[in-house]
Chain A
Amino acid sequence: MTPPLASRPLLVALAGNPNTGKTSIFNRLSGARAKVANYPGVTVERRQGRLTLPSGAKVALVDVPGCYSLTARSAEEEVAHAALTGGYDDPPADVVVIVADASNLPRNLYFVLQVLELGRPTVVALNMMDVARDHGLAIDVARLERELGVPVIPVVATTGEGLPSLVMAIESLGRATPPVPRTPPLLTSDRAVLDTVAEALRTANRPATAGECLWLLTSEPTHITSLPDTARDAIARVRTQLDAEAEQVGTSRLPFNRRVIVARYAEVDRLVAEAVSRTGPAAPDWTTRIDRVLTHPRWGLALFVLAMSVVFQAIFTWAEPLMGLVERGSQATAAAIGTALPDGVLKELLVQGLLAGVGNVLVFLPQILLLFLAITLLEDTGYMARAAVLLDRVMRRVGLHGRAFVPLLSSFACASPGIMAARTIEAPRDRLVTTLVAPFMSCSARLPVYTMVIGAVFASAPPVLGVLSVGGLVVTAMYFLGIAAAFGTAWLLKRTVLQAPTPPLLVELPTYKLPAPRSVLIALWSRAKVFVTQTGRTIVTLSVILWALMAYPRVEPPAAADAHEAARYQLEHSAAGTLGHAVEPLIAPLGFDWRIGIGLIGSFAAREVLVSTLGQVYGVGSEIDAESVVLREALLRDIHPETGRPRFSPLVGLALMVFFVLAMQCLATVAIVRRETGTWKWPLVMIVYMNGLAWVAALVTYQGGRLLGFA
């Protein structure tokens, strides 16, 4: 049973079409205190915020996934519907706030009508009133309110205009009795169909309103949960009957589901005719002018490539000073602890385990934030939709939807939010393919590995053509290798085990908007928080475990050894050293020795752990990060006894990077794929496939390079 209202916060659901300013309103109402369950997605995961009403009542504000319809044909719509009516362990929403775009009223009203069919206490937040005014549209709010039978509050999310009234409306609705559910103006015969369903459900002991019957009848059966079998059978019978009828009349008449849509739009047209009028000329249409260039197949694509290059350049160059700052900070802390504490296990644990781990988390933060900043800006301006359209031709070649581009692009930051974003893809097989190939995109956790290897073996190479650094070129090549692997695998999957037709492309191109700085900052803040607390915890824990594996069992070094040799001797005979030696036969063909083996084992929990592991392995202590000169020198000092050259040659470095591009080494991703696909089958397939591919590719790189005469 749902606990009575007095003992729990008021549950308020924020629903609406995509691009209506839902996130902006959510952030305005709940501030930066939002709790993102698990991972930052693109409004896909369940985000919950808190707010206190003027009366002192507490509100739990839930951000519902943005969608164009509540009829459940995909998991997302199912979740959206459940957020309003109850399900997934949530009670029905006490108040539904629909965010509707005033500058785009007809399609938004369609969604409003669908929500009103559910009979929950509802308020419409008519957002983007400023845009509507610019378009020369006047909306008769009082009229709309009367027609809809629920409060309609004009707001501008970016300035906060109207939000106090919205909060007041929520307050008074929280105590109101639910309204009578609306039904669309259906034909008499179609009403009779609903009555049949209602009657059948009553007999099955599951009474339902007309609106609910309509939802059950038009939704995809696989997306209807929590319905007794008898009720399910009753609905199936009515559906079969409707299908037979449609078969009979052929294409001269719309099928039932489409008759319902037409009826709702008839109502929408009536409402628009009554409440919306054009008062003045529309403002200059910037969107069309900009789109003439940005969506042009040639110029648009060229600008897209340029924009992406700038983003990645910025991530590399702008992050550097900040990373240096983090690096110096952790060095200073290590030094302070070094002088404050006596030598011993505690100091080692703090400096080499804990501090190394914390430093390793923080050193990523600048790059991750810059990448998320870029993604947030692209989303909020409305450019992301254009990019999806531009790339459709490429994506279609491998059998994917242009929309799969967003999840793949997000995966450059981290595969976890990328995979969550794949939920916006409706076709299940396409969603699965996108999920499975997203981890090939070079995520930000691989970046430190690339940076470290390049610093060690490619930094001193002379620039190509005088300007292009070899390091930059190699990293670019690594990104492209990941993209090629993702597309190749998608192509393969769509032709073999996951055959399905290419899904349709229907992408709304919202008008261009200036992002609100406040919203962007809140988005960055919540992402940083999730990264530091959740990912950070894993990295720090692993760092400590790794330290223990390398510090124990304790062995007595040979008498003549200096401090450096003693540390090395200890490592070789530690638990980690034993493990490294154990995997050496497997990785020797790739050019890796047991020390890299230890790093690889550690990196199977989180890739970025490799850098701190190698730091520990090469005995240069905690003051290690990807840029570290100390680690670079240590790697170069490690001379191969036979060749007399550094063991860590450019070729080994290249093989190592290739391995990291392709291997599945991220527990978080495995866990998410398990959750998204609902079985262990796909994560296991992914682990075997990706790591197999990584091993073979690294083998080809190393052995091929040797055949070509590189060492």
Chain B
Amino acid sequence: MTLADVPIALATTIRWIHAPGDTGERLMELGLVPGAPIRVVARHGASHPMQIEVRGFRLSLRLTEAAAIEVDA
């Protein structure tokens, strides 16, 4: 399952970052590394960025980026 499909409020864990190159490295430097707990705080449909909480802070990202983050089902 990818982060793009995780329902609101469900706590899960990052399995792998599939985002290539620079984007992937930036995500990981923000703390989204395999094994990190993650939670979806808000989502506003397919065309708006969603909000997640990771390591105690909030991050907004688009669904295209979220789809490149694999999480535990």
Contact = CB atoms under 8 A, between A and B. Distances in A.
Interface of A: 68-69, 71, 73, 103-107, 110, 251, 254, 257-258, 261-262, 265, 268, 287-288, 291-292, 295-297, 385, 389, 392-393, 396, 402, 426, 504-511
Main secondary structure of the interface of B (DSSP, over half): mixed
Given A107-B30, A389-B49, A258 B56 contact: no
Contact of A508 (B16, B22, B41, B58): B58
A517 to B, nearest CB: 26
A415 B11 CA distance: 43
Interface in B2-22: 16-19, 22
Interface of B: 16-19, 22-31, 33-34, 36, 41-42, 44-45, 47-49, 51, 55-62, 64-65
Given A107-B55, A292-B42, A297-B45, A71 B60 contact: no
User: Nearest 7 A-B pairs (CB), nearest first?
Assistant: A509-B58, A106-B55, A389-B60, A261-B28, A69-B29, A504-B23, A507-B60
Which of A261, A292, A385 counts the most B-chain CB atoms under 10 A from its CB? A261
Nearest to B59: A508
Nearest to A505: B62
Nearest to B41: A288
Given A426-B22, A504-B23, A506-B59, A107 B17 contact: no
Given A68-B30, A508-B59, 11 more contacts: A73-B25, A257-B25, A258-B28, A262-B34, A265-B31, A265-B36, A292-B42, A295-B42, A504-B64, A505-B61, A506-B61
B63 to A, nearest CB: 10
B37 to A, nearest CB: 11
B56 A104 contact: yes
Given A389-B49, A506-B26, A262 B33 contact: yes
B60 A509 contact: yes
Contacts of A296: 44
A563 B66 CA distance: 74
Nearest to B28: A261
B65 A107 contact: no
A288 B51 CA distance: 11
Contact of A504 (B47, B57, B61): B61
Contact of B29 (A71, A393, A507): A71
Contacts of B19: 504
Contacts of B59: 506-509
A104 B57 contact: yes
